[in-house]
Chains A and B, each alone.
Chain A
Amino acid sequence: MNDLIEIRWHGRGGQGAKTASLLLADAAFNTGKFIQGFPEYGPERMGAPITAYNRISNKPITIHSNIYEPDFVVVVDDTLLESVPVTAGLKENGAIVINTTKDAEYLKKVLNGYKGNVYTIDARKVSMETLGKYFPNTPMLAAIVKVSGVMTDQELLDDMKGSFKHKFAKKPEVIEPNMKALEMALQEVKKIQ
Chain B
Amino acid sequence: MSIRERLSGNEAAAIAMKQINPDVVAAFPITPSTEIPQYFSTFVSNGTVDTEFVAVESEHSAMSACIGAEAAGGRAMTATSANGLSFMWEMIYIASSMRLPIVMSLVNRAVSGPLNIHNDHSDAMGVRDAGWIMLFSENNQEAYDNLVMAHRIAEHKDVLLPLMVCQDGFITSHSIENIELIEDDKVKEFVGKYKPEHYLLNAKEPIAMGPLDLQAYLFEHKKQQAQAMINAKQVILDVAKDFEKMTGRSYSFFEEYKLEDAEIAIVCMNSTAGTTKFVVDELRSNGIKAGLLKVRVYRPFPAEEIAKALSHVKAVAVLDKADSLNAAGGALYTDVTSAMYVNKNQVPTVNYIYGIGGRDTKGDDIKGVYEDLQKIAQTGNIENPYRYMGLRG
A residues lining the B interface (CB < 8 Å): 22, 25-26, 29, 34-39, 41, 60-66, 68
With a CB–CB cut-off of 8 A, which chain B residues contact A26? 6, 176
**Does B177 contact A65, Cβ atoms closer than 8 Å?**
no
Alpha-carbon distance A129/B361, docked complex (angstroms): 43
**Does A39 contact B174, Cβ atoms closer than 8 Å?**
yes
Whether, in the assembled complex, B348 has its beta carbon less than 8 Å from a beta carbon of chain A, the answer is no
**Does B363 contact A63, Cβ atoms closer than 8 Å?**
yes
Shortest beta-carbon distance, A37 to chain B, in Å? 4
With a CB–CB cut-off of 8 A, which chain A residues contact B271? 64
Interface string of B341-376 (1 = CB under 8 A from A): 000000000000000000011110000000000000
**Does A35 contact B178, Cβ atoms closer than 8 Å?**
yes
Whether, in the assembled complex, B118 has its beta carbon less than 8 Å from a beta carbon of chain A, the answer is yes
Shortest beta-carbon distance, A167 to chain B, in Å? 15
With a CB–CB cut-off of 8 A, which chain A residues contact B275? 62-65
With a CB–CB cut-off of 8 A, which chain A residues contact B118? 41
Whether, in the assembled complex, B266 has its beta carbon less than 8 Å from a beta carbon of chain A, the answer is no
Alpha-carbon distance A37/B172, docked complex (angstroms): 10
Shortest beta-carbon distance, A5 to chain B, in Å? 15
Interchain residue pairs A-B with the least CB separation, the first 5? A38-B175, A62-B274, A64-B271, A63-B278, A37-B176
Whether, in the assembled complex, B171 has its beta carbon less than 8 Å from a beta carbon of chain A, the answer is yes
Whether, in the assembled complex, B151 has its beta carbon less than 8 Å from a beta carbon of chain A, the answer is no
Whether, in the assembled complex, B301 has its beta carbon less than 8 Å from a beta carbon of chain A, the answer is no
Shortest beta-carbon distance, A76 to chain B, in Å? 19
Shortest beta-carbon distance, B8 to chain A, in Å? 8
Partner of B175, one of A34, A36, A68: A36
Shortest beta-carbon distance, B389 to chain A, in Å? 13
Whether, in the assembled complex, B81 has its beta carbon less than 8 Å from a beta carbon of chain A, the answer is no
Alpha-carbon distance A34/B271, docked complex (angstroms): 17
A-B contact pairs, 30 of them (CB 8 A): A22-B176, A25-B6, A26-B6, A26-B176, A34-B178, A35-B176, A35-B178, A36-B175, A36-B176, A37-B175, A37-B176, A38-B175, A39-B174, A41-B118, A41-B174, A61-B177, A62-B138, A62-B139, A62-B274, A62-B278, A63-B274, A63-B278, A64-B139, A64-B171, A64-B271, A64-B274, A65-B360, A65-B361, A66-B360, A66-B362
